[in-house]
Chains A and B, each alone.
Chain A
Amino acid sequence: MSHPNKKRLRRSMMFLNCQKPGLIKDPYIYKPDSIMLDLEDAVAENQKDAARYSLYHALQEIDYHGVERVVRINGLDTPHWKEDIRVCVAGGADTIRIAKTESAQDVKTVEEHVLAAEKEFGRPEGSTLLMAALESCKGVLNAYEICRASDRLIGIALSGGDYTKDLQTTITGTGVELMGARQHMIMAARAAGVQCWDTVFTNLDDMEGFEKETQMIKLMGFDGKSLVNPRQIAIVHKIFTPAEKEIIFAEKVVREIDDKKAKGIGVFTVDGKMIDIAFYDGAKRTLAMAKAAGVYKGDL
């Protein structure tokens, strides 16, 4: 049976440096959907052990009030990742983010170690979910097989910095350099039935640019975005949470389709718009997202 949290709402995934206990002690007050406790790039090479220690105690001691606790582990090409996995599982992390994923085998390798750790620390087998960060052209090209590599895999995330380096370009702010990867990844994720998240936006002085980018990736189909600062959360949530009129319309669509189907009517109009069965799933998804975001209390 699939993990009950595999498809939970993940609009905002906020990075936090495990090397800084002050940062990881209470990020839930900002109400992100997920936090990403980072053992990888944010942690200095000679502080990996200290960061793991902080992480373990944070996972064990802090009540994160239902915010998903994702841990970004070090890449499989480093000496750290195995111990990272043991600490994540021992501490009870909800999800492990695999850095620099390039192939389905990377996911499978991590999965084996996660399973071993679950056995070692007496945690339920299959309780630790996985997500894969795609940070290279190879990883992006292998997106579909990565998405299908494990039942634990909740989705894939684009890591724009490393990816553009690999592409031999830079982040321009226009999004043009990321367009191919974004399109490809979202298609792969949807084909495999998993979620997909966009890369971080690091210029905190350009909140307007951040908002524009978030609007764009929402239209492209992404489930959410990786974030570097709590200031970005409210903007993402606003964009990724259905507005009241969208909810009302979706409710009407679902009800009308159910009603008309029983009466043998296939095509009809709702608020002047032509509606048929093709709109059903989209309307259901809008309501599910509104419900998960706490703005819809209805019964559909």
Chain B
Amino acid sequence: MINAVGRDIPEEVLKATGKEVFKGAYAYDDHEYTKAAPKVHAVCDPKRSKVVESIHEALVKCGIKDGMTLSFHHHFREGDYVVNMVMEEVHKMGIKDITICASSLGKANDPIVPYIEDGTITGIESSGVRGKIGEAISTGRLKKLAIMRSHGGRVRAVESGETHIDIAFIGAPTCDDYGNMRANGGKSDCGVLSYAVVDAEYADKVVAVTDCLVPFPNIPASISMIHVDYVCVVDAIGDPKKIASGAAKPTTDVRKIMMADYCTQFVINTPYFKEGFSYQTGVGGASIASTISLGKIMEERGIHMGLGLGGITTPMCNLLAKGLVNKLVDTQDFDMGAIESIKSNPNHIEISASEYANPFNKGAYVNKLDFVILASLEVDVNFNCNVVVGSDGMITGAQGGHPDTAAGAKCTIVIAPLLQGRIPAICTNVTTVTTPGETVDVVITDYGIAINPRRQDLIECMKDVDLPFCTIEELRDKAYAIVGEPDPVQFDDRVVGVIEARDGTIIDVVRKIKDFEF
């Protein structure tokens, strides 16, 4: 069946998943549903200890069995040890058919690939998949369909009961013996535990995994003891060096700086750039450069950001410290500067992923965004974006908050160099649609800027602005003129993954990569 972004979703996929095709970014506004509820094992007896000796004991006490769904967060990013240590134990116990429901999986989790191959893991639901796990899915080695969701979409899936978590393993930089988890302190600071909140609230069993047991009460807690069944102390939950790096040096790549300047010029010429505006940006070189250049203009004009949202980096914290941002609202910290800021600045506040981006709660922060600055692997002439599947057909990215913020913001700006190496980033059809074009307003490239024709108001605003405007088709033609139009990637018929829209409908599928034949 053809969906609202023109993708043909095979009937067997709709049948197998029970899902519907994507009907539009706001088709489920006012949708009524009943939230799911987890099983709870009450702790009435004050003498009962929650502390377990090992992951093995936690698994046994949680009643691990074949076919369960285990969940994880990705706040330890490329330094994460928790997924691997839990899955190694599950594998040793001979458990099969596990579904992993993670907020993201990265190269740090490459060691679990053999467990995909031997049937320990047969399902993956995630907002991002990189490295060898992506290759395993794209080459058809995962038994079930991989389900890729945005951060908001993941919360929606869990809260609505579409995904039921049997056991949540939540890595916590500090935890007390009763399960109060904090993202700060200890040796593996990660700033916030936003993505794990829904896991704690909706999983049947919740295991806190920490390498720093602290005296009770560990408060204010990111995740409260009232959700936690067991506390497991391990030697290390992650590699601190890879959990949070030092602040990235601002880029010196002129191409990125140029695109950042275009972005800033665009932003300040919209009607949304005014006292109290709200803003989110990513962590790419151009995004960070645009935050820095925007900050200079805010300072010059005395304009303050009312809300800075999202994954946070040092440049945003610097604006907060200078008094140019009123509140920084945080779901993920990308560097040490951000972690230090949330520890010390009372206007830098941790929120849950549901508050951040869930389309099925009663209004998420993303809905209040004026601007979001995003990146994309590919953008097509309908402004559809692909942030998950590489132009080689391999799963190698993350929806993250991309579709959520794009849908929420009044002005969604995507920055992408026209050419990614020899691959055109602006193309006729993206390999996979992960963010619908109806939610993307502007595409900024090094060769020109295209405004979505749906946004005649923005086109009107920019009438007299000296920026290199053109149509998205002109950008595509320019890219093709330089590197040629690439032949489509060769896929098998077999669908290996489903790209869910925020509302749980299917916006696209990912097929198995076909071996290249000369």
Contact = CB atoms under 8 A, between A and B. Distances in A.
A231 B447 CA distance: 17
Interface in A243-289: none
Interface in A42-93: none
B252 A231 contact: yes
A231 B255 CA distance: 9
Contacts of A231: 252, 254, 257
A204 B252 contact: yes
A26 B482 CA distance: 9
Contacts, number: 17
A29 B446 contact: yes
Given A30-B254, A230-B254, A231-B252, A25 B446 contact: no
Contacts of B447: 26, 29
Contacts of B252: 204, 231
A229 interface: yes
Contacts of A29: 255, 258, 446-447
A229 B482 contact: no
A116 to B, nearest CB: 33
B202 to A, nearest CB: 49
A21 to B, nearest CB: 10
A168 to B, nearest CB: 34
Interface in A13-58: 25-26, 29-30
Nearest to A28: B447
B469 to A, nearest CB: 15
A231 B256 CA distance: 11
Nearest to B254: A230
A139 to B, nearest CB: 32
A26 B447 CA distance: 9
Interface in B199-257: 252, 254-255, 257
Interface in A179-234: 204, 229-231
Contacts of A204: 252
Interface in B455-485: 482
B482 A25 contact: yes
Contacts of B255: 29, 230
Interface residues on A, range: under 10
B470 to A, nearest CB: 13
Nearest to A229: B254
Mostly, the B contact residues are: helix
Contacts of A26: 446-447, 482
Of B254, B255, B446, B447, most A-chain CB atoms within 10 Å: B254
A231 B261 CA distance: 13
A205 B213 CA distance: 45
Nearest to B259: A29
Nearest to A205: B252
Of A29, A30, A229, A230, most B-chain CB atoms within 10 Å: A29
A77 B348 CA distance: 65
Interface in B403-455: 446-447
Nearest to A231: B254
Interface in B90-109: none
A204 B253 CA distance: 12
Nearest to B261: A234
A48 B252 CA distance: 29
B121 to A, nearest CB: 40
Contacts of B258: 29-30
Nearest to B445: A29
A204 to B, nearest CB: 7
A204 B257 CA distance: 15
A97 B78 CA distance: 50
Nearest to A63: B481
B219 to A, nearest CB: 46
A25 B257 CA distance: 19
Contacts of A25: 482
Nearest to A29: B446
Contacts of B482: 25-26
A25 B482 CA distance: 8
Nearest to B481: A63
A30 B482 CA distance: 17
A41 B257 CA distance: 28
A206 to B, nearest CB: 13
A231 B289 CA distance: 14
Nearest to B257: A231
A57 to B, nearest CB: 12
A140 to B, nearest CB: 32
A29 B482 CA distance: 14
A29 B252 CA distance: 16
A30 B256 CA distance: 11
B163 to A, nearest CB: 44
A138 B432 CA distance: 63
Contacts of A229: 254
B422 to A, nearest CB: 9
A204 B252 CA distance: 9
Nearest to B447: A29
A87 to B, nearest CB: 22
Contacts of A30: 254, 258
Interface string B128-147: 00000000000000000000
Interface string B257-300: 11000000000000000000000000000000000000000000
Nearest to B446: A29
A39 B447 CA distance: 26
A30 B447 CA distance: 10
A13 to B, nearest CB: 16
Of A26, A30, A229, most B-chain CB atoms within 10 Å: A26
A208 to B, nearest CB: 15
A296 B314 CA distance: 41
Contacts of B257: 231
Nearest to A233: B254
A40 B369 CA distance: 52
A16 to B, nearest CB: 13
A104 B35 CA distance: 87
Contacts of B446: 26, 29
B282 to A, nearest CB: 22
A158 to B, nearest CB: 24
A15 B254 CA distance: 15
Nearest to A22: B421
Contacts of A230: 254-255
Nearest to A25: B482
A230 B252 CA distance: 10
A211 to B, nearest CB: 16
What 8 A-B pairs have minimum CB-CB distances, sorted nearest first? Answer: A230-B254, A231-B254, A29-B446, A29-B447, A30-B254, A25-B482, A231-B252, A30-B258
Given A26-B482, A229-B254, A230-B255, 14 more contacts: A25-B482, A26-B446, A26-B447, A29-B255, A29-B258, A29-B446, A29-B447, A30-B254, A30-B258, A204-B252, A230-B254, A231-B252, A231-B254, A231-B257
17 contacts: A25-B482, A26-B446, A26-B447, A26-B482, A29-B255, A29-B258, A29-B446, A29-B447, A30-B254, A30-B258, A204-B252, A229-B254, A230-B254, A230-B255, A231-B252, A231-B254, A231-B257
